[in-house]
């Protein structure tokens, strides 16, 4: 029986962090460092990292894609869950922010699992498709420029195998998706993608209110 809509207070968040997950020390250190940065809100929360790590384990994933790396917390969360021969193809355009991640990955002993590509993600993924890499990845995480979300989604649908999972971040966009006064490019792109995925027969979707909203789309 549902108790209604839960107000996720900071005290309840701390309870979840203490009792509902095990954040690796390297992840905690990187999160703490990133929280001091101007754009710290771009970092995913520990709940998301723990969820993605468990998805990797359940899928027995080896090859994954990340679109939008920032300072590397999500890439680290996935890499820690991958086997030694697993790989995260991390796509980003910022050498400044990803350099923080590279140092953290090296310190955590997982840098060999992360293949960082500093280039527009659309181009990186198009090159994979041109090389015939369809259906060769197990998992993708989309967390980059929102206007390109529909394009990233379509590219990942081609690259992820049947039974694999695409995880899309910021699908609630701070609540803006239901604010009729918000009609900027990013908000509209997220709204349109959410609506499209809800009826896309190629996937089985589940939108969950974790962080800023996550959609899990299992490839049918």
Closest CA to 161 of 144, 141, 140: 140
What are the pLDDT digits (tens) for 72-125?
Answer: 999 999 999 999 999 999 999 999 999 999 999 999 999 999 999 999 999 999
Tokens of 164: 């694999």
What is the distance between the alpha carbons of residues 152 and 144, in angstroms, rounded to a whole number?
Answer: 9
Closest CA to 171 of 210, 218, 215, 204: 215
62 within 8 A of 85, measured Cβ to Cβ: yes
What is the distance between the alpha carbons of residues 203 and 61, in angstroms, rounded to a whole number?
Answer: 18
Dihedrals φ, ψ of 213, to 5°? 95, 130
What are the pLDDT digits (tens) for 7-54?
Answer: 788 898 899 989 999 999 999 999 999 999 888 888 899 999 999 999
Q: Mind listing the domains of the chain with CATH numbers? A: 10-219 (3.40.50.150)
pTM for this one?
0.94
What are the pLDDT digits (tens) for 135-172?
Answer: 999 999 999 999 999 999 999 999 999 999 999 999 99
């Amino acid at each position: 029986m549902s108790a209604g809509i839960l107000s996720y207070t900071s005290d309840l968040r701390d309870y979840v962090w203490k009792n509902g997950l095990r954040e690796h020390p390297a992840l905690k250190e990187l999160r703490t460092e990133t929280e001091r940065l101007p754009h710290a809100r771009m970092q995913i929360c520990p709940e998301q990292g723990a969820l993605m790590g468990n998805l990797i384990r359940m899928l027995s994933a080896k090859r994954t894609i990340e679109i939008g790396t920032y300072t590397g917390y999500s890439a680290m969360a996935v890499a820690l869950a991958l086997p030694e021969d697993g790989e995260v193809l991390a796509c980003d355009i910022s050498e400044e922010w990803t350099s923080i991640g590279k140092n953290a990955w090296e310190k955590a002993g997982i840098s060999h699992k992360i293949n960082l590509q500093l280039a527009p993600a659309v181009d990186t993924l198009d090159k994979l498709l041109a090389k015939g890499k369809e259906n060769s990845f197990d998992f993708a995480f989309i967390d980059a420029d929102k206007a390109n979300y529909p394009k990233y989604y379509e590219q990942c649908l081609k690259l992820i195998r049947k039974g694999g999972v695409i995880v899309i971040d910021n699908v609630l966009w701070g609540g803006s998706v239901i604010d009729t006064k918000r009609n900027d490019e990013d908000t509209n792109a997220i709204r349109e993608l959410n609506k499209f995925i809800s009826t896309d027969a190629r996937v089985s979707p589940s939108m969950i209110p974790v962080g800023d909203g996550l959609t899990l789309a299992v490839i049918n």
